[in-house]
Amino acid sequence: MRKEWTIFDLRSSETSPSIKKIAKVLAKAFQDYPFSKYVFPNGKLRKEILPAYFAAFVRYFNLCSGMISIEENFWGAALWFKGPEEGGWLKFYWRIFRCGMLPVFFRAGWGSLIRWVRAMKIDEKAHSVCVDQGLIPSQHNSIGLLAVDPKERGNRLGVALMKYIIEEPESVAIYLETHEEANVTFYKKFGFQVVKISHSPVGKVWSMVRYS
């Protein structure tokens, strides 16, 4: 039987007590993701540290007025921005470390921090090039993270989360990046198209856009 999913946005006042639940599902979903494996190559450490790593991102999205959309039982979540993320890279690093990222890399070590910064900069450069070349409009939404608990994969929760985002009333272009080719096929089902393929130490990076 096909499940019916209820998706909604967390208000800022509701985000704090939900951080651990959201971070937990993100950690499970991205445990074997190429980016995670590159930054944290030790599998045991990666499993232990990813909840804190993603908790910092949840706090960051909350701090920066990003959208945090969840399934009501926290089986899936999406972190995304309405409009371009503001502030540039220096402000990003300042904010993300304020949100709890510093202890993550104290534990993981400087090697993980260097790999993370290197990979993040390449991803951001891909985004900047797409904007500069007119491949995406200057005014666009962007999906940072979208995840489904592995136990619920195949039950169309990812579809429900994507539909929730793309049916946003203020329809504009939507940008995202993925490091997994299998995800490219999934996103194409929602009208996304590949506009750039970059190469990083993680592997290929597919930049994708869904035009309004």
pLDDT tens across 20-63, in order? 999 999 999 999 999 999 999 999 999 999 999 999 999 999 98
Query: Tokens in use for 22?
Result: 């959201």
pTM above 0.75, yes or no: yes
Q: Is residue 88 classed exposed, middle or buried when 0-12, 13-18 and 19+ CB atoms within 10 A define those classes?
A: exposed
Taking the C-alpha atoms of residue 48 and residue 205, their distance in angstroms, rounded to an integer, is 26
DSSP assigned state of 85: P
Find tokens 């202890």 and name the residue: 103
Radius of gyration of the chain, Cα coordinates, nearest whole angstrom: 16
Under the banding of pLDDT at 50, 70 and 90, the label for residue 85 is low
- Dmax over CA atoms of the chain, in Å, equals 48
* Region of poorest pLDDT, from 77-86, 146-155, 179-188: 77-86
Q: Which range among 75-89, 98-112, 147-161 shows the weakest confidence by mean pLDDT?
A: 75-89
pLDDT of residue 84: 63
At 145 the three-state DSSP class reads strand
The structural domains of the chain, with segments of one domain joined by +, span: 7-210
Give the end-to-end CA distance of the chain in Å, rounded to a whole number.
33
Superfamily of domain 7-210: Gcn5-related N-acetyltransferase (GNAT) (3.40.630.30)
Q: Using pLDDT thresholds of 50, 70 and 90, give the confidence band for residue 6.
A: very high
Residue with tokens 């921005």: 81
